[in-house]
Amino acid sequence: MVRISGSPAPQGLSNSRLGLLHALLHQYGPPRWSRYVREHWSGQRLVIAVPWIWLFLFFIVPFLIVFKISFSEIRLAMPPYAPLFEWLEEGRRLVTTLDLSNYAFVISDGLYVSTFLYSLKIAAVSTVLCLLVGYPMAYGIARAAPTTRSLLLMLIILPFWTSFLLRVYAWMGLLKSDGVINNVLLSLGLIDMPLTLLYTDLAVYIGIVYSYLPFMILPLYANLEKHDITLLEAAADLGARPFKSFFLITLPLSVPGIVAGCLLVFIPAVGEFVIPSLLGRADQLMIGRILSDEFFANRDWPVASAVAIVMLIALLLPIMIFQRYQRRELEAAKR
């Protein structure tokens, strides 16, 4: 048996290769990387890069994947959508399939349009209710004593220590025909027969307001806590009543907190899935339920992706308005 093996490299050639590798590592290797990071990516750039990387990995990349699927065709296979780019004739010809019918179907179909409008209505009403309930609470916390303020903030955050699903199920027990609310009203003689509270729009409003109220209170508190109290004292010295001082001073200064809280409530409320499914009507669906049914029940991923993209574009408008408002406020502050 004859064995053929490569001859060892000469000693001089081996040393020269190691020397070249050492020089390359010294010039372009990890020590240079750390030096470059220290010189160019320290401080503000590094702080900004961390959230940008996070957004790229967990928002931009998933968005691009969903955006690509929205232009595909449905097929009975795994994955349940056709590829956009496909090589045919043994890799000699590249075929691109771009299907726009998914967006046309979503925009023209009455079910998706009515569902999206219903979701917008539920989210808008819930946001207004959260603002009406949350503003006095945030104002009271901001004006409370420092020792009491921490306790009140802890009570606001305390529901997050319990499972979101368990809290929604608890509302089912409160709102049902033989639940706590109806039993209390019957025992007090305020009603003669149980009220229909569960599986109504009212139950959905209650569930969303209860679940998203902290997202309204916390931005409002962060804004109200920074207000200068001497402005109210000066208004009182000039003869303004507290009610008038509130509408002329406190309310205009708290507009950024109101906008931030409304966005934090409105945007997730539009796509809410759990609360309408457990507390809402069976004959009226929200867009979150439609997305779930299209993805998992119908397995129509292209149409579901198109619905998600259309909803995302529609929700980007208030975010862009808020960013423009913030930019104008910052420019005015700098002047």
Give per-residue pLDDT as tens, 175-192. 998 889 999 999 998 888
pLDDT mean over 58-80: 87
Domain that includes residue 84, residue range:
43-99
Q: How confident is the model at residue 21 (pLDDT cuts 50, 70, 90)?
A: low
Note the helical H segments in 56-179. Answer: 61-69, 101-108, 110-142, 146-157, 164-175
Task: For residue 201, tell me if it sits in a domain.
Answer: yes
pLDDT mean over 125-143: 95
Task: For residue 25, tell me if it sits in a domain.
Answer: no
CB-based contacts of 78: which residues, under 8 Å, 6+ apart?
none
Residues 152 and 300 in one domain: yes
Q: How confident is the model at residue 140 (pLDDT cuts 50, 70, 90)?
A: very high
pLDDT at 94 over 70: yes
The CA–CA distances, whole Å, from 266 to 55, 315, 321 equal 21, 9, 14
- pLDDT tens, position by position, 276-327: 999 998 888 888 888 888 888 888 889 999 998 988 888 887 677 777 777 7
Give the residue, 287 or 20, on which the prediction is more confident: 287
Please report the pLDDT score of residue 221 as a whole number: 95
Retrieve residue 205's tokens: 């409003």
Measured CA angle at 288 (ends 287, 290), to 5 deg: 60
CATH number at 232 reads: 1.10.3720.10
Residues 315 and 168 in one domain: yes
Residues 79 and 216 in one domain: no
Task: For residue 9, tell me if it sits in a domain.
Answer: no
| Cα atoms in the 13 Å half-sphere on the side-chain side of 197 | 20
| Cα atoms in the 13 Å half-sphere on the side-chain side of 50 | 5
Please report the pLDDT score of residue 86 as a whole number: 74
Task: For residue 3, tell me if it sits in a domain.
Answer: no
Residues 143 and 94 in one domain: no
- pLDDT tens, position by position, 232-263: 888 888 888 888 999 999 999 998 899 889 98
**Please, what sign has the CA dihedral across residues 244, 246, 249, 253?**
negative
Retrieve residue 242's tokens: 């507290």
Please report the pLDDT score of residue 90 as a whole number: 66
Q: How confident is the model at residue 11 (pLDDT cuts 50, 70, 90)?
A: very low
How many domains are there within the chain? 2
CB-based contacts of 79: which residues, under 8 Å, 6+ apart?
301
Residues 51 and 71 in one domain: yes
Residues 218 and 306 in one domain: yes
Task: For residue 30, tell me if it sits in a domain.
Answer: no
| Cα atoms in the 13 Å half-sphere on the side-chain side of 14 | 5
What type of residue is 251? L
